[in-house]
Chains A and B, each alone.
Chain A
Amino acid sequence: MNVLNFVNAFFSDSAHWHGYDGIPQRLLEHIQYSVLALALAAAIGLPVGLLTGHTGRGGNALAFIATAARALPSFGLLVLIVIMMGFGLLPVMIPLVILAVPPILVTTYEAVRTVDPSPVDAARGMGMHESRILFQVELPVALPLILSGLRSAAIQIVSTATIAAYVSLGGLGRYIVDGLYQRDYEKVVGGATLVAVLALVTLALFWAVGRLAVSPGVRRR
């Protein structure tokens, strides 16, 4: 049997579309974990990135922390945290957030730091307050790059959120973990396909946000 047959079998089985283990439920859970993790990571990464990028200070320390964080294996971290803290949503969120903060933080920092200095100089010379300079002069120009950082963080979260299933939570990882355990490869392939589709939808979503939020003057078309 090839992969397409698995996919076909998985999605045409009506049993997979209902109940607590149905596709809609698992998808919803997966999206919930991902959105929560992204929101937490953004709540840390964006302010720190914006501030360090604006002042131009702390860049080296940031790069160091980001590299260190990237070297941590998410799954290993999960196991470690579960051993320390037990099961629950929090042990899942910690590795996901640690995974997502570096791309957000580093790109935001770089995006703001590399904004053309002359409009910033002009803005300061016109008597704008620093916060206004950051949000009304630097941010709109840095936005495409900041969004790309958020986007790669989001993609990584979506594909890594499958680890939630290892600690008895839901999400699309459930199909993969259960399928492997039950040797039900139809389920494994179906789950993996759903994760891939969700990642593509995430990409499309970010593209749309970029179209709406980035000024045509910055997009240059």
Chain B
Amino acid sequence: MANASANPKGSGALIRIDSVTKRYPDGTVAVDRLSLEIPDRSITVLVGPSGCGKTTTLRMINRMVEPSEGTILLDGEDIQRRPVTTLRRSMGYVIQNAGLFQHRTILDNIATVPRVLGWGKQKARARAAELMERVGLDTALAKRYPYQLSGGQQQRVGVARALAADPPVLLMDEPFSAVDPVVRKGLQDELLRIQDELGKTIVFVTHDIDEAIKLGTMVAVMREGGHLAQYAPPAELLSHPADAFVEDFLGADRGIRRLSFFPAAELPLTTGQVITADATAEQLAAPDEPWLLITDADGRPLGWGERRDLTAGDIRTDRLLPHGRPFVPGSDSLRTALDSAVLSPAGHAVAVDDTGRVTGVVSQATIGEAIRSAHAGGHADEAKVAS
């Protein structure tokens, strides 16, 4: 993924939250003197345990909740200065259960804000159809009603509807938390892709730290009582948690997760153990390794076999042990490589190129060394590596 803040395209706006406090009428202090600078054209994630004030903070940005104290600036201008409807129409809003209008077709749901802004029906619908494609929805669904869609599809419609009038800001409150993990991953990838194309200023609320780390350019970790615990890029969060609360919130496998930020490109690969299925007896005998990776004639991995079980000219490819998910050194991270090695029966991760041909293997021990030197090298890459 490209660093979103470097995106030259897009129409994002900078949001400044300046020592904002929200005290609800019953006395609950949901947000306490919060200050945040939300960079434009990037995804800023608000994350924290339930009740820590994430939703309240988000809703103060579009004035669904009015702050008790402090100011919020949008591109330097106090949001109180603008008529509330004008402000909201410049900010897309996506909520947990999509909140679609069940009496309107998918197309008309998406066309809502353009229609509110006074666009003609044809123009608004054409725009809506364009957005369906952008969020990965089959345009054959256009005439359906929300109840005829799956939860994941409904959520895409919610995102499309929020983007319809091309607002510079997108506010998203746990938009993907009601769908299953597979669909959620798809939606997250889609959001990153859309963000790469559009370069909006996105404020994203979640209580899922993995989601925060995957999506965020900046992550604000909040704690109960509406306090900001730490505000940092995800790699820094993982390497230098500000305090015990953040460390605890990041979970036990923080070290492993941090590996997502180190590219696997530098790993030294070896090819001695890689043998084609039609190898001769000499080729089989050559490597000084108990495990051999067998490939087909094209160089695609078939599986691992122990040398003493293999007979030249008669390699039973159906008896080989699975090679697991290979990694692509150019685009994957050390985390993927390590995972691949851990799952391998031979203790070696398989590296492939973009076309799936084996470029070499690397042992757990070698990956371990790479991890140690990466940590010693200090900060992880700021740009995230797809993992």
Contacts and interface: CB of A to CB of B under 8 A. Distances in A.
B217 to A, nearest CB: 23
B160 interface: no
Contact of B84 (A119, A127, A137, A140): A127
A204 interface: no
Contact of A218 (B88, B97, B102, B113): B102
Interface string A180-197: 000000000000000000
B82 to A, nearest CB: 11
Given A122-B95, A220-B147, A127 B89 contact: yes
B62 A125 contact: yes
Contact of B101 (A125, A129, A137): A137
A144 to B, nearest CB: 10
A211 interface: no
B112 A218 contact: no
Choose among A124, A140, A216, A217 the residue with the greatest number of B CB atoms under 10 Å from its CB.
A217
B104 interface: yes
Contacts of B176: none
A126 B147 CA distance: 21
A120 B102 CA distance: 11
B209 to A, nearest CB: 25
Question: Chain B contact residues: over half helix, strand or loop, or mixed?
Answer: mixed
Nearest to A126: B113
Interface in A163-221: 215-218, 220
B93 A125 contact: yes
B102 A132 contact: no
B70 interface: no
B86 interface: yes
Contacts of A129: 85
Contact of A126 (B93, B97, B103, B105): B93
Choose among A122, A132, A140 the residue with the greatest number of B CB atoms under 10 Å from its CB.
A122
B145 A217 contact: yes
B64 A127 contact: no
Contacts of A217: 102-105, 145-147
Nearest to B84: A127
A96 interface: no
B145 A126 contact: no
A116 B89 CA distance: 22
Nearest to A122: B99
Contacts of A127: 84-89, 113, 116
B259 interface: no
Interface string B71-104: 0000000000000111111010101111111111
Interface of B: 62, 64, 84-89, 91, 93, 95-105, 112-113, 116, 145-147, 158, 161-162, 171
Given A123-B101, A141-B103, 9 more contacts: A116-B102, A120-B99, A122-B158, A125-B91, A126-B112, A141-B101, A217-B103, A217-B104, A218-B102
Interface of A: 116, 118-129, 132, 137, 140-141, 215-218, 220
12 contacts: A118-B98, A118-B99, A119-B100, A119-B101, A122-B161, A126-B93, A127-B84, A127-B88, A127-B116, A216-B145, A217-B102, A217-B147
